[in-house]
């Protein structure tokens, strides 16, 4: 609460009337308000206010609706317009366009349009206030406080830790009476922002060790229900994870196998959900070196590990009553005199031999061992998440995560969750057709790339992973296409996306009803 008797204006030089020390303030900050308006059904160009906006309008005796009428054309969906000096508590009010009120789940788009519209509009409003250096915003719940919170917290995120000049830090709070949806939305979005932070951070900052330490710190407040194991290189070798070792060998950075146990279920024996994330903190391609253009993006090749670990941090913060185990094989993929060479044969944890014909197809190698290990916990389901193939990006782009699964039940759970979050998934095939590509190796049981053709590369990679799975409910999520955002998702700024963290959390939360 900001009680201000004399107000200090941070933009004017201090002293005289503008003196923070003589102001009897608990804290002084610029406050903003974000309010929503819907397009009126059937009436082109006219608007109707949300409940919160109408309440605000009433306290101003209709001033807001009057200004909306004279300030130009009706505010379009996802756009915002700022009004100054309307209210003494809120010097800046951003009114945002929510589109039509009557929309809901859209079968063609596979998402809830109302929720997406709210996320989009609220983020636009919050950002325009951030540009005005407003420090604190109150946000209209717009009838769905969770989506509003997600729009605010995702929209305001900016990775500028490493810049001297930073964007204004803005805190957001729900306008009006409390709603548990708001807190839930904040936690969902903060989870995604954690994944964004890890993915965006440069590879010399987020090494395998630094990644594991960051997650350990984030889980420290939940120590009662969480254990963190940072397994060393010696442990990895003992486990006979020959495929994982073969990828990490070329780097000076030691690999880490991060193992998280979240025990949220009152039934400690409840079979866990096992989440496995690809954790390549930098993918140079190894001896099969990548071209240098855009290679910097491969600092986000740990997006699988980032989204999986962030979703476990979020599950712990939400105290979800489920048991989840998170596994993240973390290492760099580098060329060196010690690196694995094309044609080398390595042995995975389950004894299968793999001819490594392309060292740039490293994700499937580290996942192979992690998937074998995941079965040790007798899971109810295994879901792995990986920035696995450029081919996935070619196939679906950033519209949806590709899901390859042997389980209709698991597909339905993931799909249902993604409709709610708007962070979509799309089912991809696991045909024997692709298995043939990886099981015909000259020297070994398997080959790490498709033998006959590069076509269908995302499917070939999935077929390879399947060779390490015996569980009946397994899904592989290829997130290469959704790894980064240019301007496709309006409520995420340009940069690494942290997708599909919210979908993983929603999916885990949905498992409550299937115990």
Catalytic, 290? Answer: yes
Shortest gap between Cβ of 388 and ligand BES (angstroms)?
Answer: 6
Draw the binding track, 432-461, toward ligand BES (x: CB under 6 A; -: no contact): -----------------x-------x----
Per the residue annotation, which of 290, 427, 436, 451 is the catalytic one? 290
Nearer to ligand BES, 283 or 467 (CB): 283
Between the alpha carbon of residue 346 and those of residues 203, 238, 375, 436, the distances in Å are: 26, 15, 21, 20
Bridge partners of 262, per DSSP, are: 226, 324
Q: Which stretch of DSSP H or E encloses residue 36? A: strand 31-39
193 in contact with ligand BES (CB under 6 A): no
How many residues touch ligand BES (CB under 6 A)?
A: 16
369 in contact with ligand BES (CB under 6 A): no
Token code pair at residue 163:
């810049």
With contact defined as beta carbons under 8 Å apart, do 174 and 145 qualify? Answer: yes
Which partner from the list ligand BES, Zn ion, none does 391 bind, CB cut-off 5 to 8 Å by kind? ligand BES
Draw the binding track, 341-360, toward Zn ion (x: CB under 5 A; -: no contact): -------------------x
483 in contact with ligand BES (CB under 6 A): yes
Token code pair at residue 327:
């596994």
190 in contact with Zn ion (CB under 5 A): no
Nearer to ligand BES, 111 or 468 (CB): 468
Name which of 489, 436, 512, 515 is nearest 192 in CA terms.
Answer: 489
Count Cα atoms within 13 angstroms, Cβ side, for 15: 1
Residue from 140, 144, 362, 423 in contact with ligand BES (CB under 6 A): 362
Residues 65 and 450: their CA atoms lie apart, in Å, by 62
389 in contact with ligand BES (CB under 6 A): yes
Nearer to ligand BES, 150 or 283 (CB): 283
Which partner from the list ligand BES, Zn ion, none does 389 bind, CB cut-off 5 to 8 Å by kind? ligand BES
Catalytic, 76? Answer: no
Describe the crossing of helices 303-318 and 208-219 by its angle, rounded to 10 degrees. Answer: 10
Residues 121 and 139: their CA atoms lie apart, in Å, by 11
Radius of gyration over every alpha carbon of the chain, rounded to an integer in angstroms: 25
Chain centroid to Cα 514, Å, comes to 25
With contact defined as beta carbons under 8 Å apart, do 76 and 18 qualify? Answer: no
Draw the binding track, 290-309, toward Zn ion (x: CB under 5 A; -: no contact): -----------x--------
Per the residue annotation, which of 184, 299, 364, 424 is the catalytic one? 364
480 in contact with ligand BES (CB under 6 A): yes
Residue from 138, 301, 369, 423 in contact with ligand BES (CB under 6 A): 301
With contact defined as beta carbons under 8 Å apart, do 201 and 299 qualify? Answer: yes
Residues 476 and 479: their CA atoms lie apart, in Å, by 9
With contact defined as beta carbons under 8 Å apart, do 286 and 335 qualify? Answer: yes
Antiparallel, parallel or unpaired: β 323-333 and 279-283: parallel
How many residues touch Zn ion (CB under 5 A)?
A: 6
Return the range that interacts with Zn ion (CB under 5 A); candidates 68-76, 80-88, 178-186, 277-285. 277-285
Residues of this chain, 166-185, that bind ligand BES according to CB under 6 A: none
Q: Locate tokens 């409520």: which residue? A: 491
Token code pair at residue 381:
């389901």
Nearer to ligand BES, 137 or 483 (CB): 483
Contacts of 195 (CB under 8 A, 6+ apart): 303, 306, 307, 309, 310, 311, 498, 501
Return the range that interacts with ligand BES (CB under 6 A); candidates 45-53, 76-84, 310-318, 388-396. 388-396
Which partner from the list Zn ion, ligand BES, none does 390 bind, CB cut-off 5 to 8 Å by kind? ligand BES
Peptide bond into 500 cis (omega under 30): yes
393 in contact with ligand BES (CB under 6 A): yes
Which partner from the list Zn ion, ligand BES, none does 134 bind, CB cut-off 5 to 8 Å by kind? none
Return the range that interacts with Zn ion (CB under 5 A); candidates 38-46, 127-135, 281-289, 349-357. 281-289
Residues of this chain, 360-419, that bind Zn ion according to CB under 5 A: 360, 362-363
The angle at the Cα of 154, spanning 151 to 160, to the nearest 5 degrees, equals: 145
Residues that bind ligand BES (CB under 6 A): 283, 301, 358, 360-363, 387, 389-391, 393, 449, 457, 480, 483
Q: Active-site residues: which are they? A: 290, 364
Write out the residues near Zn ion by the rule CB under 5 A: 280, 283, 301, 360, 362-363
């Amino acid at each position: 609460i900001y009680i201000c008797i004399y107000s200090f204006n941070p933009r004017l030089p201090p002293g005289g009337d503008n003196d923070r020390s003589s102001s009897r303030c608990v804290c002084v900050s610029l406050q903003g308000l974000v309010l929503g308006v819907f397009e009126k059904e059937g009436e082109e160009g006219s608007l109707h206010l949300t409940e919160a906006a109408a309440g605000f309008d009433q306290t101003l005796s209709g001033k807001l609706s009057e200004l909306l009428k004279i300030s130009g054309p009706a505010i379009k969906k996802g756009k915002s317009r700022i009004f100054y000096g309307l209210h003494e508590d809120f010097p800046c009010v951003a009114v945002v366009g929510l589109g039509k009120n009557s929309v809901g789940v859209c079968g063609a788009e596979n998402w809830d349009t109302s929720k997406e519209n709210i996320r989009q509009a609220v983020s636009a409003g919050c950002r325009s206030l951030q540009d005005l250096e407003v420090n604190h915003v109150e946000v209209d719940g717009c009838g769905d406080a969770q989506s509003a919170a997600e729009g605010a917290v995702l929209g305001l995120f900016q990775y500028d830790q490493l810049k001297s000049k930073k964007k204004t830090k803005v805190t957001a709070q729900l306008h009006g009476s409390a709603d548990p949806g708001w807190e839930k939305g904040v936690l969902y979005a903060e989870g995604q922002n954690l994944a964004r932070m890890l993915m965006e951070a440069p590879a010399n900052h987020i090494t395998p060790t630094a990644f594991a330490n960051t997650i350990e710190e984030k889980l420290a407040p939940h120590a009662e229900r969480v254990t963190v194991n940072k397994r060393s290189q010696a442990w990895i070798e003992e486990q006979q994870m020959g495929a994982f070792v073969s990828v990490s060998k070329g780097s000076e950075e030691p690999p880490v196998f991060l193992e998280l146990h979240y025990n949220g279920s009152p039934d400690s024996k409840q079979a866990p959900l096992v989440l496995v994330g690809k954790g390549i903190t930098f993918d140079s391609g190894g001896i099969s070196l990548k071209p240098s253009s855009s290679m910097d993006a491969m600092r986000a090749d740990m997006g699988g590990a980032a989204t999986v670990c962030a979703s476990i941090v979020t599950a712990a913060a939400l105290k979800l009553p489920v048991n989840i185990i998170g596994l993240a094989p973390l290492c760099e993929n580098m060329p060196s005199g010690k690196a694995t060479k094309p044609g080398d044969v390595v042995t995975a944890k389950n004894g299968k031999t793999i001819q490594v014909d392309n060292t740039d197809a490293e994700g499937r190698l580290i996942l192979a061992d992690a998937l074998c290990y995941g079965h040790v916990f007798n899971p109810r389901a295994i879901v792995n998440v990986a920035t696995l193939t450029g081919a996935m990006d070619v196939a679906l782009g950033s519209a949806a995560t590709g899901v390859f699964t042997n389980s209709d039940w698991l597909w339905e759970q993931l799909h249902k969750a993604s409709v709610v979050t708007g962070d979509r998934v799309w089912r991809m095939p696991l045909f024997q057709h692709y298995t043939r590509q990886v099981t015909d190796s000259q020297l070994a049981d398997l080959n790490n790339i498709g033998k006959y053709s590069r076509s269908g590369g995302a499917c070939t990679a999935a077929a390879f992973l399947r060779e390490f799975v015996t569980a009946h409910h397994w899904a592989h999520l290829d997130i290469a296409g959704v790894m980064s955002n240019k301007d496709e998702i309006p409520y995420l700024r340009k940069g690494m996306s942290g997708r599909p963290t919210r979908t993983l959390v929603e999916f885990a939360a949905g498992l409550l009803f299937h115990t």
